[in-house]
Chains A and B, each alone.
Chain A
Amino acid sequence: MITIFLTFLKIGFLGFGGGYAMLSLIFQESEKLGMTVQQFADLNALDGLIPGPIAINSATYLGQLYGGFWTAVAATLAVCVPSFIFVPLFLHYEDKINDNWVLTAILDGIKPASVGLILAVALSLMLLTVFGINGLGEWAKASLDWTSLLVLGVVFFLDSKYHVNPVWLILLAGLLGGVVYYL
């Protein structure tokens, strides 16, 4: 429980730029806790189904998975700590801080970085779902799963181009997976 608390504390403090920027941190840090790529993919799907900030959803999910209710509470509180520290601190010294260019500058660096980081996570998930391997190192063992490739392509297209509600896209994917099983 303490490990998970500290993990999400770290994720919170390094989590600039919102949910998707934080996902790569959550992905890597949770792997250390024993989370599989499958479990992460499921977490990301649940994020699409359940309202709320990605970081809080992730903390609750991993806490519940790796320790039950109280660990879920601890992880969720941990990821909230930075807000409780920085916001009151900022408001207290607001008059003295007339230019927060440093924060904006940090964010200007982290936003582009998070594009690369999230793309790397996306690739990991694609390697697992479409090729059935954990990482590029296992490339020799890769076998192409046509259904997953089709789902990935169609969902990406509908999501990025038409912004279809993720709930429908997940239902569509699940339906296709079910139909393929009985073919």
Chain B
Amino acid sequence: MHKNWILFKVYLLAGTFTFSGGMAMLPVIERELVGKYHLIERDQLYEYATLSQTFPGVIALNNACFVGKKIGGTVGIIAASLGAILPAFVLMLAATIAYQMIPQEGVVLSIMAAIRAASAAFLFSAAYSLARFNLKDAPTIILAAACFLLTVLNLANAPTLIVIAGIVGIILSRVKQVRRV
């Protein structure tokens, strides 16, 4: 089998069976590309996985681009990316079309209201687990609290806050480097 075809197939498989994207697909990629087809070294794959998370954009897709480029060059990027995107696109498109056909009346409204409350709960849960991993000291807690308050009070929008937070991140890292020297 041609390596670009393998790339497409492996990312398609990983994309179809992993929820919420990100690095959830890594074990499947490792099993197939490292274990079964020997197209990439395990260490290299994990290095790319780490890098993928620091780049802007969709993490799973960044990973597909790194691995695709390494294994098959530009064609490899296209093959792996298509595999990574297609399942999410096709399934979500089908789900959205089905969603548009649901009649918004009677018992459906009541069911949807409850599901929306569950949806709110998922976000609180996501915020909670993100907080546990990322709020470690005073600066990070202040940054999170400031972003929350500024958004709730309608004083700043998300893009602005993200840019400012990135700059704060650079400054904090510089301060730490200076202190160490």
Contacts and interface: CB of A to CB of B under 8 A. Distances in A.
Contacts, number: 368
20 contacts: A12-B58, A23-B123, A28-B157, A44-B119, A45-B115, A45-B118, A46-B96, A51-B16, A51-B91, A53-B21, A60-B89, A87-B65, A91-B70, A109-B168, A111-B140, A118-B130, A119-B144, A151-B121, A155-B122, A166-B19
A55 B58 contact: yes
Interface of A: 10, 12-21, 23-25, 27-29, 38, 41-42, 44-57, 60-61, 64-65, 69, 72-73, 76, 79-84, 86-88, 90-91, 100-123, 125-126, 128-130, 136, 145, 147-149, 151-156, 159-160, 166, 169-170, 172-174, 176-178, 180-182
B95 interface: yes
A15 B60 CA distance: 13
A90 B50 CA distance: 14
Interface size range on B against A = 35 or more
B26 to A, nearest CB: 13
User: Which 10 A-B residue pairs are closest in the complex by CB-CB distance?
Assistant: A109-B169, A52-B88, A177-B114, A53-B21, A116-B147, A113-B165, A116-B148, A82-B57, A105-B173, A125-B120
Interface stretch (B2-10, B29-37, B105-113): B105-113
Interface of B: 15-22, 51, 53-62, 64-66, 69-70, 74, 77, 81, 85, 87-89, 91-93, 95-97, 99-100, 106-107, 110-131, 133-135, 139-141, 143-149, 151-152, 157-159, 161-170, 172-174
